[in-house]
């Protein structure tokens, strides 16, 4: 492969280096383009722009491949736990038994919220969206952890990561409890990460909730599958905020806000709303798909399509199999699963979706699993955020550890008014 790329501009030829990743993805390094030519590149939505090099997650969207730190997602889904996946994503290799134990202990010792932080919940109206609460509370957490604002060594970083990953779970469950008017449940140090979350969500002071191991495992799987996904909208937001030197809490809080939207993490809510709409309206799946395809339709088939995958999202395959298995084991009949299966069949055989390479993404089946776990709809995107926390932290760490990291600051092409004079109010 040639090591440079030649670009002709205004009759002059300029050479730019080519960059190749470990999986042979190639890029043109245009970091000197503007200085040398006066031009910038314009790439609406960044579909062709690499904002960084990263060694965390690899995706081949054409082949439907996803790997964390080189390990296929299918293997982690089958053999891993969320806590060891989190460690892998953040520190780049699977933890030893001692490292895993130390991290687990840190998660346990950090599971409580500062009592004053707990009282923040009372400031939110009862119907406040849990994503708003989550973002606000992660930011508020930094006020109680001043020593974590400047991270100077690995140990402090591990402590900060454990605090966020552990407390996010407590905050998520507490925001749910507040929204339904139930007392907040204290975490249980004898429970695993996932079981503890389910306990804080569903136990009440007079009745302990003891989740079926199937539900525990499904939650772990869900979190593993969401742990990272390279430079998606929320992770890029985290990196952007981190690039200003902002602390880990502020950066992750920003990630939660970016995740909220229906084109990104909020799609898991939108999918279930869509399936419910089809069920309740009695409309056939074929008719719904017709509406999506209609010219000038603003409707999208939620849970379908992806900026990077032009093939099955491997996470959706794993989640579909897990949903089938879990519902059968727990003897749950969910009519939405049937509608989802029909929708998938219709779409995968329809030229509109085939030509555009639109396949089910992670959000298509994740809602079915969460419903079976008893997670309420307005908590779905919070669950995604809990899972994504290790990825955000790992990406924050990549920026933090990189002595050459620069402030991220894209350019623009201005298309507004040309210069004209200020008109005094009396003359307008």
- Catalytic residue set: 306, 363
Q: Does 263 bind ligand CMC (CB under 6 A)?
A: yes
Q: Does 306 bind ligand CMC (CB under 6 A)?
A: yes
In terms of CB distance, is 163 or 306 closer to ligand CMC? 306
Least distance from C-beta 268 to ligand CMC, angstroms?
8
Q: Does 114 bind ligand CMC (CB under 6 A)?
A: no
- Closest Cα partner for 373 from 191, 201, 193, 146? 201
3-class state of residue 305 by DSSP: coil
3-class state of residue 51 by DSSP: coil
Residue 75 phi/psi, 5-degree rounding, is -70, -40
d(CA 177, CA 171): 10
Is residue 256 within 8 A of residue 138, CB to CB? The reply is: yes
Binding test (CB under 6 A) with ligand CMC, winner from 307, 310, 329, 400? 307
325-355 in b/e form (b: 16+ CB < 10 A) is ebbeeeeeebebbebbbbbbebbeebeebee
In terms of CB distance, is 248 or 302 closer to ligand CMC? 302
Segment near ligand CMC (CB under 6 A); pick from 69-77, 107-115, 159-167, 305-313: 305-313
In terms of CB distance, is 162 or 256 closer to ligand CMC? 256
Least distance from C-beta 101 to ligand CMC, angstroms?
33
Q: What is the number of alpha carbons within 13 Å of residue 140 lying toward its C-beta? A: 19
Segment near ligand CMC (CB under 6 A); pick from 80-88, 118-126, 159-167, 301-309: 301-309
**Judged by CB under 6 A, how many residues of this single chain contact ligand CMC?**
20
Is residue 240 within 8 A of residue 251, CB to CB? The reply is: no
- Closest Cα partner for 314 from 82, 75, 91, 81? 75
Q: 173: part of which helix (H) or strand (E)?
A: helix 154-179
Segment near ligand CMC (CB under 6 A); pick from 204-212, 276-284, 294-302, 399-407: 294-302
Angle at 282 between CA 279 and CA 285, to 5 degrees: 75
Q: Does 387 bind ligand CMC (CB under 6 A)?
A: no
d(CA 8, CA 15): 9
Which residues inside 348-367 make contact with ligand CMC, applying CB under 6 A? 356, 358, 361-363
In terms of CB distance, is 121 or 359 closer to ligand CMC? 359
Annotate each residue in 310-329 with x if it binds ligand CMC (CB under 6 A) or - if it does not, as one string: --------------------
Binding test (CB under 6 A) with ligand CMC, winner from 197, 222, 304, 396? 304
Which residues inside 265-284 make contact with ligand CMC, applying CB under 6 A? 265, 267
**Euclidean distance between the first and final Cα of the chain, in Å?**
62
Which residues inside 29-48 make contact with ligand CMC, applying CB under 6 A? 45
Q: Does 232 bind ligand CMC (CB under 6 A)?
A: yes
Q: 8: part of which helix (H) or strand (E)?
A: strand 4-9
Least distance from C-beta 232 to ligand CMC, angstroms?
5
d(CA 72, CA 320): 18
Q: Does 264 bind ligand CMC (CB under 6 A)?
A: yes
Residue 30 phi/psi, 5-degree rounding, is -105, 25
Number of Cβ within 10 Å of residue 97's Cβ equals 7
Segment near ligand CMC (CB under 6 A); pick from 35-43, 138-146, 263-271, 273-281: 263-271
Indicate the burial class of 223 (C-beta count within 10 angstroms; 0-12, 13-18, 19 or more): buried
Residues 6+ apart with CB under 8 A from 166: 106, 107, 108, 110, 111, 193
Least distance from C-beta 324 to ligand CMC, angstroms?
20
Which residues inside 158-197 make contact with ligand CMC, applying CB under 6 A? none
In terms of CB distance, is 302 or 323 closer to ligand CMC? 302
Least distance from C-beta 368 to ligand CMC, angstroms?
14
In terms of CB distance, is 198 or 385 closer to ligand CMC? 385
Q: Does 69 bind ligand CMC (CB under 6 A)?
A: no
Least distance from C-beta 321 to ligand CMC, angstroms?
18
In angstroms, how far is CA 314 from the centroid of its own chain? 15
Residue 48 phi/psi, 5-degree rounding, is -120, 15
Which chain residues interact with ligand CMC by CB under 6 A?
45, 232, 263-265, 267, 292, 300-307, 356, 358, 361-363
């Amino acid at each position: 492969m040639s090591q440079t790329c030649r670009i002709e501009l205004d009759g002059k030829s300029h050479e730019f280096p080519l960059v190749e990743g470990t999986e042979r993805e190639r890029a043109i390094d245009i970091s000197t383009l503007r200085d040398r030519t006066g031009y910038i590149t314009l790439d609406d939505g960044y579909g062709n722009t690499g904002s960084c090099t990263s060694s965390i997650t690899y995706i081949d969207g054409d082949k439907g491949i996803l790997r964390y730190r080189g390990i296929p997602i299918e293997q982690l889904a089958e053999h891993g736990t969320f806590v060891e996946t989190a460690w892998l994503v953040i520190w780049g290799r699977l933890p030893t038994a001692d490292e895993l134990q130390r991290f687990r202990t840190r998660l346990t010792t950090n599971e409580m919220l500062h009592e004053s932080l707990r009282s923040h919940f009372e400031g939110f109206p009862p119907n406040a969206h849990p994503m708003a609460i989550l973002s606000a509370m992660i930011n508020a957490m930094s006020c109680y952890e001043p020593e974590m604002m400047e991270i100077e060594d690995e140990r402090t970083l591990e402590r900060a990561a454990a605090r966020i990953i552990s407390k996010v779970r407590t905050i998520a469950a507490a925001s749910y409890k507040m929204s339904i008017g139930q007392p907040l449940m204290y975490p249980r140090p004898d429970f695993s990460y996932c079981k503890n979350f389910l306990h804080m969500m569903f136990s009440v002071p007079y009745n302990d909730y003891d989740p079926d191991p199937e539900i525990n495992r499904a939650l772990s799987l869900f979190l593993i599958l969401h742990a990272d996904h390279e430079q998606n909208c929320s992770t890029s937001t985290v990196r952007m905020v981190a690039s200003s030197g902002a602390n880990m809490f502020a950066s992750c809080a920003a990630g939660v806000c970016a995740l909220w939207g229906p084109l990104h993490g909020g799609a898991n809510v939108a999918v279930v709303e869509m399936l419910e709409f089809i069920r309740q309206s009695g409309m056939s799946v074929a008719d719904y798909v017709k509406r999506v395809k209609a010219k000038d339709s603003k409707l999208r088939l939620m849970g379908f399509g992806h900026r990077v995958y032009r093939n099955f999202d491997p996470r959706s395959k794993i989640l579909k199999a897990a949903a089938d298995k879990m519902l059968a084991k727990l003897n749950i009949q969910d009519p939405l699963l049937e509608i989802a299966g029909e929708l998938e069949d219709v779409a995968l055989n329809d030229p509109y979706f085939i030509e555009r390479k639109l396949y089910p993404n992670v959000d298509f089946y994740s809602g079915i699993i969460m419903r079976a776990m008893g997670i309420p709809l307005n908590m779905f995107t919070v669950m995604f955020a809990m899972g994504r926390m290790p990825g955000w932290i790992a990406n924050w760490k990549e920026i933090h550890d990189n002595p050459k990291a620069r402030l991220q600051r894209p350019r623009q092409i201005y298309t507004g008014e040309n210069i004209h004079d200020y008109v005094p109010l009396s003359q307008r």
